[in-house]
Amino acid sequence: MGTALFLLGILNTVRSADWPQFLGPDRNGSTPEGVGVPWSPEGPPRQWRVEAGMGFAGPVVAEGRAVLFHRIGDDDVLTVVDAATGRRIWEQRQATSFVDDMGSGDGPRGTPAVSGGRVFTLGADGRLSCHSLSDGQRLWSLPAREQFQADPGFFGFGCSPLVIDGRVLINIGGRPGAGLVAVEADSGRVAWKLRDDEAGYASPVPVMETLNGARTVLFFNREGLVGVQGRDGVELFNFPWRSRISASVNAASPVVSGNEVFLTASYGTGAVLLRRRGGKLETVWSGDDSLSAHFATPVLRSGFLYGFHGRQERGAELRCVDWATGKVRWRAEGVGPGSVVLSADRLVVLLESGELLVVRAEPDAYSPIARAQILGRAARAPLAIAGGTLFARDSRQWIAVRIGGGAR
């Protein structure tokens, strides 16, 4: 590992008008695009509405197209529409027999990734696929569950694929030695595999590492944090961090800043801020009283974290927490669980109730600016913001609404 610096700054390699993957252009839940408020009493104007099937995979947007991965009947469905009008461009179906034993729904959980004119998906049944963005042609498909002898866990496979350095990386939980896997983006051929850890539901996050010019990727699997060279699969470090009870998962992705990384989980695990010095990780602070997220990844702005604390089914609350100390600066009780995106200097919050909130991303106090009911209930999927439009879904519909104003 040497003495390489842990420079945790994600490269901006796509247009700001795109949201091509889970957690956005830079995989950190942020966009420079602003939000225009106040809205009319009816809420932000809707551009279009499209019927949607089951699942919790969020929409993505790239090259003027919006993409949704969902389930209709016995098929996983990949639907691509014109981002401005909602007009269907193409749709591909692939049979699936996945059944969620916990009764949470049988649709896909992982958000697609668009890269190099291709769309990459991982279904709840563990099938990894690649399609052409232009016409929907299936370029390759890999039965990852069977090939890597992976356990679907409590709710099926939920990792959102990461595409980096010509590789597609997934947190799959296979054995032996296939907990973390990378395949070649062009062919689906296995490039490397690593560790025996179970998967959990967090998705990998890319960072910068000066070690031989290679990009580092952070995986937060069920056992804890693992740092890997994304190109070659070389393990750089690991940090055990999980609940001691069996019925638990790590689901929120790591948040990074400078040479520090923040991990958060529910089920009594809590949160921890780590600092890397050389080849070692040291704890800056930890505890279960600051920001223990069930599954929604927090966002970071100017030294403060914003996210949901507490179990989803028990009424999570929105919080602001000091990055350096873990001190809670404010809390908004009673809003219910949801997901959050940082849009310039504002938080765009989509609650599971289908209500959209805009809140100032400031540590002094909880300051909501606007709110509107834009979806029905069960709006658990992460949202996307691209070109002044918010894309979101619930269990029945997929919508695009105008929220603002371009980059600030």
Contacts of 32 (CB under 8 A, 6+ apart): 16, 344, 407, 408
What are the tokens at 381?
């999927």
Q: Which two tokens stand for residue 212?
A: 């031989």
Separation of alpha carbons 278 and 267, rounded Å: 31
What gap in Å lies between CA 252 and CA 300, rounded to an integer? 14
CATH topology of domain 30-402: Methylamine Dehydrogenase; Chain H (2.130.10)
357 φ, ψ to 5°?
-120, 145
* Strand extents, DSSP E, 63-106: 65-72, 75-82, 88-95
pLDDT, one tens digit for every residue, the chain (408 residues): 333 444 444 444 444 579 999 999 999 999 999 998 888 888 999 999 999 999 999 999 999 999 999 999 999 999 999 999 999 999 999 999 988 877 778 899 999 999 999 999 999 999 999 999 999 999 999 999 999 999 888 889 999 999 999 999 999 999 999 999 999 999 999 999 999 999 989 999 998 664 556 789 999 999 999 999 999 999 999 999 988 787 788 999 999 998 899 999 998 899 999 998 877 899 999 999 999 999 899 999 999 999 999 987 777 899 999 999 999 999 999 898 999 999 999 999 999 999 999 999 999 999 999 999 999 988 999 999 999 999 999 999 999 999 986 444
pTM of the model: 0.94
Q: Which two tokens stand for residue 107?
A: 């649709």
Q: Cα–Cα distance between 129 and 136 in angstroms, integer? A: 11
| Ranges of each domain in the chain | 30-402
